[in-house]
A and B are shown apart, each in its own frame.
Chain A
């Protein structure tokens, strides 16, 4: 149980395009989803927290207009990297939790490469 699916797993695109990443909880309802970014050989850094039906809460230093997060249903959150540039290349990982004290379950991540 507690499976989180992230799509796509890899994406390569040209600079200036926008890229959407989906995060789905397959067998539970996720009241909260989290988006992390992981640079090579580094730890995960939380970008934002999203609650279903509410605006996402972004961490300090994360541009909300650059990284658009939508959490329109209890099983789906999307992260859109707008006008992506090479410095946005990274590994993006989502996680989801059911209720307040349940642990987060992670997706398999999306490797984003901007040329």
Chain B
């Protein structure tokens, strides 16, 4: 069975500060990992995905994530937060690139001016 744990249901950063959203996974097979962003009353937008190629994955809007097998982690980072980054972020794991996704509980990112 696969599972995802997102540490911190709420993260608050100042505009311009580093964003770090934590995700740890559990998987019995080599995982495919994803980060999605959700704005209020909207669906999910794919930020980036890890599919067993490069361990450092760059996504849209300046976000990136690093797959660390030894730590079973896939933390999301952005060097400088922007007000428009305020949203809820979900980490997800799958056994393939497109099969059933198991989501973490989500982390709400607040950006202070």
Query: Interface on A for B, CB 8 Å cutoff?
Result: 4, 6, 9, 32, 34, 42-44, 46, 49, 91, 93, 95, 97-109, 111
- CA A6 – CA B97 in complex, angstroms? 22
Contact of B97 among A34, A46, A101, A111 (CB under 8 A): A101
Closest to B36 in A: A106
Asked if B56 lies at the interface with its beta carbon under 8 angstroms from chain A, I say no
Contact of A99 among B36, B43, B44, B98 (CB under 8 A): B98
- CA A46 – CA B99 in complex, angstroms? 11
- CA A93 – CA B41 in complex, angstroms? 10
B98 touches A4 (CB 8 A): no
Closest to A38 in B: B38
CB contacts (< 8 Å) of A98 on chain B: these are 98
